[in-house]
Amino acid sequence: MPTTVLRIARVIAHAAALTCMAYGYLSLPSLPNDKRIRQQTGGHWQFLTLQGLAVAFITVFLSLLVDLFPGANLVISVKRTVLMGSLALSSVVSTIYWSLIALAPNLILRPIDTDPTQQVPRLGYLPLDVDLALHAAPAVALLLEFFLLERKYSAFDVTRVAPFLLFTYSTSYCIWIEYTSTMNKTFPYPFLNTSLLNRLAIYISATLFAYISFRILNALRIHSTGHGSAPKPSSSSSARQGRRSPH
C-alpha cells in the first residue's frame, strides 16, 4: 500500500509540473513582444529559456512514464541521460535570468515596441505567473526530481558523458543564435549584442557554469537511491557474506 500511495503521489506531482510548464508555453502569445518575436527567424526558439523548458518538459514526461510503467528500463535509462543535460541547462537559465532581472533587467529583457518619441523604452516584463512557469518551474521540478527520485551519477557520467552533452548542446545553440542574429539583425538577449570576442567569452562561461553546477548538485546528492538504483542484496546473500566475514 505505501508503494502504491507513493506512485500516485509521484504521478500527481509530475502531472502538476507538466501542467505548469505547459501553461508557460501556451501563454507565449500573451507576452508583450510575442508578435515581433514570431516574425523573426527562429521565433521563440531563439531563446535558451524555451529550449530549456522543452528539455525539462521531456524529462518530467519521461519520469511520468516511469511512474506508470516502473519496469520500463529503457525509459529509465533515457530519462536519466536527458536529466543530466536538462538539470545543468535549467541551472544556467534560472541563475542568469533571475540575477539579471534583479540587477540589470535591461540586459535580459527586450524593450516593448512603443512610441519612438519616448526617451526611455519600456522593458517587456512578463506577468509573474508566466515568468515563474518559464523561468522557475523547470529548475524546481528537475531539482526535486534529482534529489528525491534519482540516484547520484557515476564518475564516468560526471567526467565523460556530461561534458560531451553540454559541449555538444552549447556549440549547437551558439551556432543557432549566431545564425538567427544575422537574419534578425539582433540577438535574442540584449547582453549578446556585443563583439564576437565578448560573446565567445559568454558562451564559454555559461557552459562552464552549467558543468560546474551539475558537478556541485551531483556532489550534494549523497544517497544513491531512486529510479534505476542497484537492487539491495537479499537476506540470504547478506547472511552468507556475514558468515564469510571475520569477526
- Evaluate whether residue 184 is within a structural domain: yes
Largest CA distance in the chain: 86
For residue 150, give its domain range: 2-32+46-112+127-227
Report how far residue 162's alpha carbon sits from residue 22's, in angstroms, rounded to the nearest whole number: 27
Give pTM, 2 decimals.
0.86
- Evaluate whether residue 154 is within a structural domain: yes
Is-contact 18 57, C-beta < 8 A? yes
Local structure of 27: helix, strand or coil: coil
What is the reported pLDDT for 3? Answer: 83
- Evaluate whether residue 107 is within a structural domain: yes
Report how far residue 180's alpha carbon sits from residue 177's, in angstroms, rounded to the nearest whole number: 5
What is the reported pLDDT for 230? Answer: 40
What is the reported pLDDT for 11? Answer: 96
Point out the residues of the chain with pLDDT beneath 50. 1, 228-247
- Phi, psi (5° rounding) for residue 169? -70, -45
What is the reported pLDDT for 32? Answer: 84
- Where do we find the cell 558543468? 211
Is-contact 160 81, C-beta < 8 A? no
Q: What is the residue type of 4?
A: T
Q: Both ends of the chain: CA-CA distance in Å?
A: 39
- Evaluate whether residue 121 is within a structural domain: no
Residue 93 neighbours by CB distance under 10 Å: 25
- Where do we find the cell 529503457? 74
Task: Dump pLDDT digits (tens) for 85-127.
Answer: 999 999 999 999 999 999 999 999 988 865 555 666 788 899 9
Report how far residue 69's alpha carbon sits from residue 65's, in angstroms, rounded to the nearest whole number: 6
Per the DSSP assignment, residues forming a β-bridge with 123 are 111
- Evaluate whether residue 172 is within a structural domain: yes
Q: What is the residue type of 159?
A: T
- Evaluate whether residue 232 is within a structural domain: no
- Number of domains the chain is built from: 1
What is the reported pLDDT for 121? Answer: 72
What is the reported pLDDT for 20? Answer: 98
- Evaluate whether residue 108 is within a structural domain: yes
Phi-psi category of 185—alpha, beta or left, where left has phi over 0 and alpha has psi -120 to 50? Answer: left
- Evaluate whether residue 155 is within a structural domain: yes
Is-contact 25 58, C-beta < 8 A? no
Nearest to 124 by CA among 108, 140, 146: 108
